[in-house]
Structure 1
Amino acid sequence: MNVSRRALLGAALGSLAATAAGCARPADPATGGAPGETLGLGILGTRTGADRRPIDESIRFEQGLRVAVGWVTSRTNRIGARTISMARADDRNDPGAAAAAAEELVDRGCRILVGGFTDPVALRLAEVAGRRRVLFIAATATADELTGVNRYTFRSGPEITQLLLAARSYVRPGGRLVVLAADRARAARAASMLGAAATMVLPAATTNFAAVRRIRAAQVYVDWPRPEPRLWTAIPAGVQPITILGARNTWHQYGTHAPALRFVTPYVDGATSNNGYQALRVAVPDRRSDTGHAEGFAAGQMIVRAFQSGVRGTDDMIRSLADLELNGVKTGLTVRAGDHLLAQGLWGGRLTWVGASGALTAVTEREFTPDETTPAV
C-alpha cells in the first residue's frame, strides 16, 4: 500500500484502504479505542552529554517527527477518539541510561519507543523493545546490526551498507583508495564495500594526524563520527575525499577540501520539493531542513500508521508496517517485511562556496534509487 498523506488522512476519517497482500485489515481508527484514551509514545532523545553531535541530531529528528505527526493527523495529534501522548526522556548518549529510561517509559504505558542517535544506544534500545514487546523505531543510528535484530525494531533511515553502496559510485576505477575510520570494524566494512587498497584506523581521541599527511592515494573515504578540522587539514592536496555528509553546522569544518569533496547523504535541504517538504520547511529554524529532519518525518508517519492499526496490540502494529510504502519528505520508502530494513533513495553531490560571505551550499548531482542502495536479504 502506498501510504501518502492523503491515504493516511483518509484513514483517520475511517476510509483506510486495504493493507498490502498478506496483512490483516487494520481496525477502524475512527472508532477503535475508547474516547479519551491516550496512545503512549516514548521519545528517547539526547539532552545532555559531552558530545554535542547526538544532541543536535536529536533536536532535528524530534522536530521532523512532530511535524509529520501533525501533518498526517491534520494538526490534531489524534487518531479518531484517541490522542497521541508524547513522553520525552534523556538517553544521555549512554546505553545504560537509555535502557533505564526506556524501561520507565514502557512502565508508564508507552507502546512505541523511538530514539537511538548512536549505534550503541540504538542497539541497547532494540534489546529493551524485544524483551518488553513494544515497537521500537531507531532514529539516525546506521549500524547494520539493527536490521533484523528482532521483530520489534524498525528503522527511519539507512544502514551503513546502504550508504556505502551509494558511495562506491564515486570510487575511480584503477585508482588507489584509502579508508580512514575510527574503529577497525567500520574500516573493514568500508574497505570491503568500496574496494579500498588500504585502511587507516584513527581512534576518535587521536591528536596525531601525521600519518594522514603521508597518504599516497588518489581518493580517501572518511568514515568519521563528525567532521574533524585537523583530520581534513591533514589530507594532502590533490587527494579527493569521499564521505557521508554531516549536518549543515559541521560543513565549515571540511575546510579547504570542501569543493573537492564528494558526499553521499540520506537527505539534504532542497533534495525534494513536495507537500511534505513544504510542511517541514515552514516549521524548522531558518526554513532550512537538515539531516535528521527527514528521518524524523518518516518515523512520525510510521508511528501514526502503527497506532492506527495497533488497537489490539504490538503484533498488529508490526503487521501494519511490513511492506509499508511511505511518501512524505522523502518518497519511495519501503519497509522490507523480512528484516525491517527501510529501502530508500539517497543523494550524492558536492559542496560549493556561494555568495560574498562564502557560505557553503550542498549541491546534489545525482539521486540513487532504492534498487541501487538496497542490499540483498
Structure 2
Amino acid sequence: MQSLSTSRRALLGAVLTAAALGAGGCGSPKQAAGDDSSIKVGVVYSQSGPLAGYGAQYAEGFKAGLAYATDNTNKIGDRTIDVSWADDAGDPVKAVSAAKDLIGKGYRVLAGSTSSGVALQVAPLAAENKVLFVSGPAATDAITGANRYTFRSGRQSYQDVLTAKSFLGDGAQVVVFAPDSAFGKSNVDAVKNALHKDVTSIAVPAGATDFTPFASQIKAARPDLVFVAWAGTTAGAMWQALDQQGVLASTKVVTGLDIQASWAGFGPGADKLNLLAHYFDGAVDNPAYQALKAAVPGGRTDLFHPDGFAAAQMIVHALTTSPDDVDKMVTSLEGYGFDSVKGRLTVRADDHALLQPMFQARLSGGKATLTGTITPDAAAPPAAAMKG
C-alpha cells in the first residue's frame, strides 16, 4: 500500500496521454477546455503502472464522492464540473508534464497523485501557478505543509506509525523494513520520530524481486520488533521470504493492511501479523460509506476508495465557496471538517494535515476484523511548518 503501505508508496517519462472518463456528467478534455461556463478539474493519477490498482480505487472513489457531494448533479449552482483524467503511470516526469498541460489549459484545480514521488513533484507546481492541488493516496509526510495550495485527501505515514505505536510496545530495538523510495524513507523517518527508540532500517531497492537476502538481514539483526512498510505488486514475494527465513516466527511484526487483492500474499503467517489499517471494507458504517458501497463495482469498498471520495468532497466544498478564486478555495479548506467514508475528517489549518481516524485489525481466514479505532487526535501527526 502506499502506506506500507503507506504507500507503500518509476517508470520511463513519456508523452502525456489524457483520457476522458465519466464522472457524473464529465466531458472530454476538449469540451472542458472550450466551455467557459464549466468548472474544470484535472485528475493526474496512476491509471497504469505499478500502482494502477490503487489508482483505480482512487478514481472510483472520486466519482462516487463527486456524485455524493453534488447530490448527483455534478454541478456547482448551474455550472457543470468537467473532470479530465490523465495517466502519470507512477512517473513524476510524466505527472509534471500532465499537470503543466492542464494548468496551461486553464485548470485551477488538480487532484490525484497515487505515488509519493509524484506528489512531491506536483506540489511545487501548485504553489508556482497558484492552483489548488488535493493530493490522493500519496503517503509521504512531506506533502503536509508543502505549500498553502497543497492539501491531501488520504492519510500520511506518521498516522500509520502512530497507529502502530500501540502494537510496538516497549521493544528496545526496532527495524523498519521498507523500499528505498520517498514512501519508504517517509516511513523510516516517521518511526524514528514517533518512537524515540533504537530504530534502524533496511532499505530495499524499488525494483527488487528476490527478498531472501533482506529477510536474512532482519533475522541476523534479531530485533524486538519489525515494522514493515510496503506497497505494490511485489508484496507477496516479500512476505514469502520473511516467512521462509523465519522472521514472522522469531519476532513481532507490525505492518499495514494493503488492498484486499494483496491479502492472500501474506501467506500462512497472516494471522501472526499485527495490522494497522488506513481503511478496509466494514471498518465503518455511515451515509458516506453506504453511498460509496452503492457506487463501486460489486459493492465492496477497498483501501483507497475513501481517498478519492474525500478529495471530491473537498473540491466541491472549495468550488462551492468560490468556483473561480483559488485563494478563496484555499481559505475555505483550512480548518474544514466534514463527514466522509472513514468518519469525521478535519483539515488542520496550519499545515493542511488531514486529521482522521485510523484502525487496527487482524486477518483470519482471509477476512479482516476491526480490533480497535484510533481517534483523529491520537493519530494526529506533529505540526509541520508551512513552506510557502
Write out aligned runs for 1:34-183 (5 A).
37-49=37-49, 51=50, 54-174=51-171, 176-183=173-180
Contact 2:39/2:323, CA 8 A, preserved across alignment: no
Superposition deviation, residue 265 in structure 1: 1.5
Query: Residues 257 and 151 (structure 1 numbering): CA distance in 2 closer, same or farther, change over 3 Å?
Result: same
Runs of 5+ consecutive residues of structure 1 not aligned to the other structure = 1-34, 354-359
Show the counterpart of 2:372.
366
Amino acid at match of 2:47: R
Q: How does 1:1-377 map to 2 (within 5 A)?
A: 37-49=37-49, 51=50, 54-174=51-171, 176-183=173-180, 185=185, 186-194=187-195, 195-206=197-208, 207=210, 208-209=213-214, 210-226=216-232, 227=235, 228-233=238-243, 234=245, 235-353=247-365, 360-377=366-383
Query: Do the aligned partners of 1:134 and 1:314 also contact (CA within 8 Å) in 2?
Result: yes
Deviation at 1:312, TM superposition (A): 4.2
Shift of 1:175: 5.5
Which residues of structure 2 form unaligned runs of 5+?
1-34, 384-388
Computing the radius of gyration from Cα coordinates, the structure with the larger value is: 1
2:66 is paired with a residue of what secondary structure? Answer: helix
Kindly state the Cα deviation for residue 176 of structure 1 after the two structures are TM-superposed. Answer: 4.2
**Contact in 2 for aligned 1:188/1:199 (Cα 8 Å):** no
TM-align CA RMSD: 1.9
Give aligned pairs, total.
334
Give distance in 2, aligned partners of 1:174 and 1:124.
Answer: 36
Query: What's 2:6 paired with?
Result: none
How far off is 1:225 after superposition?
A: 2.6
CA deviations on 1:344-376 (whole Å, 9 max, x unpaired) are 1100111111xxxxxx11111100001101123
Residues 339, 361 of structure 1: CA spacing in aligned structure 2 closer, same or farther, 3 A cutoff?
same
Question: What percent identity do the matched residue pairs reach?
Answer: 34
TM-score of the superposition, structure 2-length normalised? 0.81
The letter for the 2-side match of 1:48 is S
CA deviation after TM superposition for structure 1 residue 47, in Å: 2.3
Which secondary structure does the structure 1 equivalent of 2:352 belong to? coil
Q: Distance in 2 between the 1:71 and 1:174 partners?
A: 45
The whole-number CA distance in structure 1 between the counterparts of 2:168 and 2:154 is 23
Is the CA contact 1:135–1:314 (under 8 Å) kept in the aligned structure 2? yes
Stretch deviating more after TM superposition (235-244 or 137-146)? 235-244
Post-superposition CA distance 1:201-241 (Å, at most 9, x none): 33233422332343523431112234234443232414231
